[in-house]
Amino acid sequence: MALFYSGEGLRAVGKIIYPAISIEKGDMTFLTGPSGCGKSTYLRMLNRTLLPDQGQLFFEGKALPDYDVLSYRRKVLRIPQEPFLFDGSIQDNFNRYYETAGYSVPYADAIKEALELACLPISILTDCATLSGGERQRVFLALFLSFMPQVLLLDEPTAALDETTATLFFTNLKKHCLVHGITPVCICHQADLVKAFADRVICLGGAQ
């Protein structure tokens, strides 16, 4: 049984019609296709931050509306494309995000481990105001990776990273997900990265 499934005729935002899509547990799945074809919209529907206009999505054989929204989003975690960090240090941001989510504040070692996973081995006391765009994106990725969900939905996670760092990040991500039984679903426009890391590629056609 597929982890996620949606049949033909799924429609969103009034004009995007999707083919039948299935995502298998444990696979590193990439969504590809031209701008406007509905990749980010599909991730938002998987996370239940957007409802389809028509059709239904299923998670572990159960329709998404049958799940409690908050508990579902803890299992199926979407990392937004644009990073948002609070004023203060990296540690301050981890604390704020964890408190908002209702989790215990993480230990310093756990924060350091998450930063290393996201290819940013710097002090957790670093002021986020001093970080570059790529560094801010990696702090944001580290935050969400540290929550250890069942499914990670990543929208262009390496958009602000250079090629070497992007390759290392996907190497770390794939190993991390394999070890911890996490299913990653990624949007990425870099064909070489998709070819190198995808277990499965789902190509979406375009808006109709």
Identify the pLDDT of residue 14.
86
Identify the pLDDT of residue 207.
42
Specify the length of the chain in residues.
208
Which of 208, 185, 151, 196 minimizes the C-alpha distance to 32? 185
pTM of the model: 0.94
Residues 75-86: tens digit of each pLDDT: 999 998 889 999
Q: At 171, which amino acid appears?
A: T
Residues 9-33: tens digit of each pLDDT: 899 998 899 999 999 999 999 999 9
Identify the pLDDT of residue 81.
85
Q: At 19, which amino acid appears?
A: P
Number of Cβ within a 10 Å radius of residue 102 = 8
Residues 157-200: tens digit of each pLDDT: 999 899 999 999 999 999 999 999 999 999 999 999 999 999 99
Which CATH class name applies to 4-203?
alpha beta
- % of the chain at pLDDT higher than 70: 99
